[in-house]
């Protein structure tokens, strides 16, 4: 290989060149998201963009994102790895592999316990020690679709105090949504500890972090659901409620079915874990069938095995191992907008 190769952190002055390299590798569609990531994510530090520079030109990029997660009552320092890309002029020369190794060293040095990424090319990462862990989910198939509002129990008439479902309104709902997110995820395994700055930053908006629907009762928002804007398909990627407000998932499920109907869709893809209250609500709907559907893209790399084992022991879970054994990392709930 010709040219002088440096593997290191990118300097902030090089971020425009980083952006161009990532867009050359992934295509122009990632430009808004990458722009928000480089200049709109409050967690980004000068150690987080790792690059291969060939004769000073940014040839390959890896991004590290600081994403501490809940692990039962403990917290794990998780690093999200994304934007893995090599400019087409430099591919096939081992650069991405070297930058990923450098990123792993940097993450270890900085005390991260675990790294996570999402990919469609798992064998590439498996060579570097990463392990695939499927993300549980389900699919709601409706044939024919029940009419919105049907199937919420035998002959159910709306109760006078039943929650109202309406679109999310950021100007007034966000503080309630943040409280619901924290309360619902307390004690779970995997959810990111979202800060107030993270909820509001440009990067999160680009990731579509905000809910689409909220459930309101007696003037208080008690639950929400987040879906992609309906198009060719409808993806339900997050839902939460206040403690004791699980009944709100019934009308939320009904409203989501209504969104699907309005776009002539016969299925809803849900990235929610087993046992989620919204899954139960769909199961109780007449004419709706719920099928397990896991997503294969998640991969994990243990960085600090003793710390992971200690955290597992404190939560009564089996030990972590390297390479990871299926089950060690379970159960993991990682909400889709937080995918770096």
Written as one string, the DSSP assignment of 281-335 is HHHTSTTEEEEE--B--EEEEES-HHHHHHHHHHTT-PPP-SSPPTTTT-S----
Nearest to ligand COA of 92, 306 (CB atom): 92
Tell me how far apart the alpha carbons of residues 283 and 267 are, in angstroms, rounded to a whole number.
14
Distance in Å, CB of 43 to ligand COA, minimum: 20
Distance in Å, CB of 127 to ligand COA, minimum: 7
The encoded tokens of residue 88 equal 């087409």
- Among 35, 85, 131, 226, indicate the residue that binds ligand COA (CB under 6 A): 85
Nearest to ligand COA of 92, 155 (CB atom): 92
Distance in Å, CB of 119 to ligand COA, minimum: 4
DSSP state of 232: S
Binding residues for ligand COA, how many (CB under 6 A)?
16
- Among 7, 43, 108, 124, indicate the residue that binds ligand COA (CB under 6 A): 124
Q: Is 285 exposed, middle or buried (0-12, 13-18, 19+ CB in 10 A)?
A: buried
Tell me how far apart the alpha carbons of residues 159 and 210 are, in angstroms, rounded to a whole number.
28
Nearest Cα neighbor of 105 from 26, 186, 7, 24 is 7
**Interface with ligand COA includes 25 (CB under 6 A)?**
yes
**Interface with ligand COA includes 86 (CB under 6 A)?**
yes
Nearest to ligand COA of 83, 317 (CB atom): 83
> In the Cβ-directed half-sphere of 18, how many Cα atoms lie within 13 Å?
26
**Interface with ligand COA includes 129 (CB under 6 A)?**
no
- Among 40, 72, 94, 287, indicate the residue that binds ligand COA (CB under 6 A): 94
DSSP state of 210: S
Region near ligand COA per CB under 6 A, out of 11-19, 28-36, 87-95, 282-290 = 87-95
- Among 8, 20, 23, 26, indicate the residue that binds ligand COA (CB under 6 A): 26
**Interface with ligand COA includes 91 (CB under 6 A)?**
yes
Distance in Å, CB of 233 to ligand COA, minimum: 21
H/E stretch holding 66 reads strand 57-66
Nearest to ligand COA of 1, 157 (CB atom): 1
| Number of CB atoms found within 10 A of residue 290's CB | 18
The contact set with ligand COA (CB under 6 A) reads 25-26, 60, 84-86, 91-97, 119, 121, 124
């Amino acid at each position: 290989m010709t040219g002088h190769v440096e593997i290191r952190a990118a300097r902030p002055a090089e971020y425009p060149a980083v952006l161009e390299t990532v867009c050359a590798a992934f295509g122009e569609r990632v430009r808004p998201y990458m722009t928000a990531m480089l200049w709109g994510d409050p967690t980004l530090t000068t150690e987080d963009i790792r690059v291969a520079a060939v004769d000073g030109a940014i040839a390959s990029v890896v991004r590290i994102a600081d994403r501490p997660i809940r692990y039962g009552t403990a917290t794990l320092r998780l690093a999200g790895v994304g934007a893995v890309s090599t400019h087409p002029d430099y591919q096939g020369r081992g650069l991405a592999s070297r930058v990923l190794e450098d990123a792993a060293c940097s993450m270890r040095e900085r005390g991260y316990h675990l790294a996570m990424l999402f990919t469609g090319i798992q064998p590439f990462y498996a060579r570097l020690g990463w392990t695939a862990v499927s993300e549980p989910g389900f699919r709601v198939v409706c044939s024919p679709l029940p009419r919105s509002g049907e199937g919420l129990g035998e002959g159910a008439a709306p109760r006078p105090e039943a929650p109202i479902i309406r679109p999310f309104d950021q100007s007034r709902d966000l503080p309630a949504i943040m409280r619901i997110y924290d309360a619902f995820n307390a004690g779970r395994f995997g959810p990111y500890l979202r800060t107030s700055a993270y909820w509001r930053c440009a990067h999160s908006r680009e990731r579509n972090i905000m809910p689409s629907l909220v459930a309101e009762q007696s003037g208080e928002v008690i639950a929400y659901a987040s879906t992609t804007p309906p198009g060719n398909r409808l993806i339900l990627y997050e839902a939460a409620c206040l403690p004791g407000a699980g009944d709100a998932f019934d009308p939320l499920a009904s409203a989501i079915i209504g969104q699907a109907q309005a776009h002539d869709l016969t299925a809803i893809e849900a990235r929610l874990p087993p046992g989620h209250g919204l899954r139960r609500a769909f199961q109780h709907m007449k004419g709706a069938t719920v099928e397990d559907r896991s997503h294969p893209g998640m991969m994990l790399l243990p960085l600090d095995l003793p710390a992971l084992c200690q955290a597992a022991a404190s939560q009564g879970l089996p030990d972590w191992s390297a390479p990871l054994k299926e089950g060690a990392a379970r159960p993991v709930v990682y909400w889709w907008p937080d995918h770096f």
